[in-house]
């Protein structure tokens, strides 16, 4: 699970990356920086509060601080290398600047978040259009026609029409057969996207800020999730204790920090859920795909548990917290015994029974 942060120079992208990964050890690969960041989850915090375990383990996302995009052809060679990094991520976060700071000039000389959001959108559409044209030319020049040649051409022509209509390829519904046809092609605009609007401290507390409203309206039109955050404020939040943090967030009318909302939105946007295991030794969140059944979820812990699966003892997070402990939950009849066909739900607290 790899999330790439993409933005124009001076967007605050690298600052957000450092905050998301809590300055964890990073690896540099051809100009991109990779580091793991945990997915904040208040449910896990509450379970840890109940059990006071030896350790609490959060799910993690690998974040990639991609090289800045150079607009208007000013960095065509650099952007070409950057696209290879973009094709390797599972989800893109477009970090868009909406704050003024004379000490940090922009590439355009002015701060215009709507223009910048549209620039990134259009540049990626163009990159996919170029790939479609290349693929169509290669098919046209191919001496040996493959059995699915006509189907590939028809699909790529649909893609071209979509891109020329200023729409991402994610808006094209594909059959299973069509998905197979393009499996080897790394089309960027088929990837899920989130916009992270990096605003000033004043704008964070003001939903009526014109710059903020402009990008919010455009994102609604495009069907793109938007997270409004402020790198400067997030840095202050990180330095606070729990109670101080809650009071600080309340002052801005926020239930959670921008980093928490961004990490959770990325997690959910990838079609992932978390289930929990809880005990005195460890409280832990496990990542699985939405719709997975109990034995396959058990594999996330260990393949032996999947192989020897007998049943799963399941309770919802809300019921668990209300009961206060697994014993109390069992006494109240809140724990269910589920078999191999059970579809795991987000927030389930599960104990797996198995025999190998």
Q: What average pLDDT does this structure show over 311-329?
A: 95
Whether the Cβ atoms of residue 291 and residue 342 lie closer than 8 Å to each other: no
pLDDT at 38 (0 to 100): 87
pLDDT at 75 (0 to 100): 47
Q: Which residues pair with 338 in a beta bridge?
A: 312
Q: C-alpha angle 275/277/281, rounded to 5°?
A: 155
Question: Where does 291-354 sit in CATH, by number?
Answer: 3.10.20.30
Q: What is the DSSP string of 87-105?
A: HT-SEEEEEEEE---TTS-
Whether the Cβ atoms of residue 276 and residue 347 lie closer than 8 Å to each other: yes
pLDDT at 308 (0 to 100): 96
Q: For residues 186 and 126, what is the distance between their CA atoms, to the nearest angstrom?
A: 14
Q: For residues 265 and 194, what is the distance between their CA atoms, to the nearest angstrom?
A: 8
Characterize 271-290 residue by residue with b for buried, 16 or more Cβ atoms within 10 angstroms of its Cβ, and e for exposed: ebbbbbbbeeeebbbbbbee
**Which residue ranges make up each domain of the chain?**
2-110+191-269, 291-354
Type and span of the H or E element at 311: strand 309-315
Q: For residues 54 and 48, what is the distance between their CA atoms, to the nearest angstrom?
A: 9
- Is 147 exposed, middle or buried, given 0-12, 13-18 or 19+ CB atoms closer than 10 A? exposed
Q: For residues 72 and 76, what is the distance between their CA atoms, to the nearest angstrom?
A: 9
pLDDT 10s digits, 236-266: 888 888 788 888 888 888 888 888 888 888 8
pLDDT level of residue 158 (50, 70, 90 thresholds) = very high
Q: C-alpha angle 217/222/227, rounded to 5°?
A: 60
Neighbours of 180 (CB within 10 A): 12
pLDDT 10s digits, 40-66: 898 999 999 999 999 999 988 899 999
Q: For residues 213 and 219, what is the distance between their CA atoms, to the nearest angstrom?
A: 10
- Is 129 exposed, middle or buried, given 0-12, 13-18 or 19+ CB atoms closer than 10 A? middle
Q: Which CATH class is domain 2-110+191-269?
A: alpha beta
Work out the mean pLDDT of the chain and round it to a whole number.
90
Give the pTM.
Answer: 0.87
- With H, G, I as helix, E, B as strand and everything else as coil, classify residue 190: helix
Whether the Cβ atoms of residue 340 and residue 295 lie closer than 8 Å to each other: yes
pLDDT at 142 (0 to 100): 81
pLDDT level of residue 22 (50, 70, 90 thresholds) = confident
Whether the Cβ atoms of residue 87 and residue 295 lie closer than 8 Å to each other: no
């Amino acid at each position: 699970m790899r999330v790439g942060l993409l933005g124009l120079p001076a967007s605050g992208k690298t600052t957000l990356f450092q905050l998301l990964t809590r300055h964890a050890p990073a690896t540099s690969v051809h100009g991109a920086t990779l580091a793991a960041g945990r997915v904040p989850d208040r449910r896990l915090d509450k379970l840890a509060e109940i059990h006071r375990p030896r350790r609490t383990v959060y799910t993690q996302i690998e974040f990639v601080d991609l090289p800045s995009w150079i607009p208007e052809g000013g960095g065509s060679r650099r952007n070409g290398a950057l696209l290879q990094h973009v094709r390797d991520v599972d989800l893109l976060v477009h970090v868009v600047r909406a704050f003024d700071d004379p000490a940090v000039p922009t590439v355009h000389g002015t701060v215009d978040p709507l223009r910048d959001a549209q620039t990134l959108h259009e540049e990626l559409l163009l990159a996919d259009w170029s790939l479609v044209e290349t693929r169509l030319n290669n098919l046209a020049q191919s001496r040996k026609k493959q059995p699915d040649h006509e189907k590939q051409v028809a699909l790529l022509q649909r893609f071209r029409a979509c891109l020329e209509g200023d729409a991402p390829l994610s808006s094209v519904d594909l059959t299973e057969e069509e998905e197979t046809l393009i499996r080897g092609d790394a089309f960027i605009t088929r990837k899920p996207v989130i916009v992270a609007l990096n605003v000033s401290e004043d704008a964070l507390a003001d939903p009526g800020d014109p710059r903020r409203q402009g990008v919010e309206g455009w994102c609604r039109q495009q069907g793109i999730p938007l997270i409004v955050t402020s790198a400067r404020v997030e840095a202050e939040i990180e330095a606070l204790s729990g109670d101080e943090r809650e009071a600080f967030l309340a002052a801005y009318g926020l239930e959670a920090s921008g980093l928490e909302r961004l990490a959770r939105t990325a997690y959910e946007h990838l079609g992932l859920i978390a289930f929990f295991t809880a005990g005195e030794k460890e409280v832990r969140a496990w990542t699985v795909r939405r719709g997975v059944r109990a034995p396959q979820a058990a594999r996330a812990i260990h393949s032996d548990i999947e192989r020897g699966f007998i049943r799963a003892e399941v309770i919802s997070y809300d019921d668990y917290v209300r009961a206060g402990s697994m014993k109390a939950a069992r006494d109240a009849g809140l724990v269910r015994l589920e078999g191999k066909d059970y579809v795991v739900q987000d927030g389930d607290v599960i104990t797996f029974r198995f025999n190998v």
